[in-house]
Amino acid sequence: MALQKRARRKPVRELANKKEYPNLTLDQALDFVISGKKAEGLRERTLTDYAKMWRYFTDWLKENYEDVETVDQLTKEMFRNYISYLRYDAKRYDGHKFIYAKQQGVGLKEATINIRVRTYRAIFNHLESEGLIEVNRMDNVKELRTDVDLTNCFTDEDVKNRKPRLIPFSAHVSKLLLQLIGENREHFKTDRLFLSSYGENLGWNQLNKRLKYYAKKAGIDGKKVTSHVYRHTWAKNMILNGCDPFTLQKMGGWQDIRTMRRYIQMDTTEMRRSHDDFSQMNKFRNKRV
């Protein structure tokens, strides 16, 4: 009878080299992320958004995957199923204090869903960078398609009045956007267009801060410089440069001049031609040449 060879004990150094990962609960994972991001200097508003978005996801998990209690139990399929739920079944404004959700229909907008996807990706990226998880479940979980058409130079967006509109932009802006997308993909794992220098989502007031910075750099003092004021300035200059008010109304999304709109309906070709003829950006570029 042949003797069975006894298995050799592994050296201690081999056991020491094996990485051990904590078995984090869903709440513990969020606590680690909030603590780490707070140490990095993220604003309280951003941290509140992290907690809110994570709560949305965990509440959905309790209803659909009640046995899931730890981060290790999460799968990419769960996140994809959650995205599908948000897109086709989630109630709009559910839980809002002042809006009756039952009258708003179902299915969240792509932009809203992408905000949540980016938040979950940031959470898992932090857990991975801190060595708290072995596998990043958000890898290869893609955001929904962007609403920017860089070929035809239009963006199709849903605004606060829930009515979509087409917004043209110049070929020069399209070129700059393509350059920005390439730069983002080179440094960060996100499809978001506008990022901070560290790859974080821009804050709600970051654009106004940059406008004030460039206004000061350009020597503009004593004037209010915000994105809202810039919108009014843009509208005024478009009219002064010869843009007809009906095209401008359509681009700006205003609900005025309703009677005149019954008689004049501008199509996308006319919008594209009017924008190219009266674009303030093209005017400045021609001066430089």
pLDDT digits (tens, 9 = 90+) for 153-186: 555 554 444 556 677 888 888 888 888 888 887 7
Which among 38-47, 148-157, 227-236 has the top mean pLDDT?
Answer: 38-47
Look at the pTM and tell me if it is higher than 0.85: no
The average confidence (pLDDT) of the chain is: 78
Residue 167, phi then psi, degrees to nearest 5 = -120, 115
Residues in the chain: 289
List the chain domain ranges. 21-145, 146-151+168-204, 206-280
Tell which residue, 55, 187, 65, has the closest CA to residue 123. 55
Is pLDDT at 233 greater than 70 in this prediction?
yes
Is pLDDT at 60 greater than 90 in this prediction?
yes
Q: Percentage of residues in the chain with pLDDT exceeding 90?
A: 27
Task: Enter the tokens of residue 212.
Answer: 């004030």
Least confident interval from 16-20, 155-159, 165-169, 248-252: 155-159
Residue 15: predicted pLDDT: 44
Is pLDDT at 16 greater than 70 in this prediction?
no
Is pLDDT at 58 greater than 50 in this prediction?
yes
CA distance 163 to 270: 20
β-bridge pairing 148-149 and 164-168: unpaired
Residue 263: predicted pLDDT: 39
Is pLDDT at 146 greater than 50 in this prediction?
yes
Residue 262: predicted pLDDT: 41
Q: Which residue has the higher pLDDT, 168 or 52?
A: 52
Residue 256: predicted pLDDT: 59
DSSP per-residue letters across 136-200? -TTTT-PPPPPSEETTTTEEEEE-TTS-EEEEE--HHHHHHHHHHHHHHHHH-S---SSB-TTSP
Residue 271: predicted pLDDT: 67
Residue 43: predicted pLDDT: 85
The pLDDT tens digits of the residues spanning 202-215 come to 877 888 888 899 99
Q: CA–CA distance from 99 to each of 32, 56, 102, 105, 107 (Å)?
A: 34, 18, 9, 12, 16
For domain 21-145, give its CATH number from 3.40.30.10, 1.10.150.130, 3.40.1160.10, 3.40.50.300: 1.10.150.130
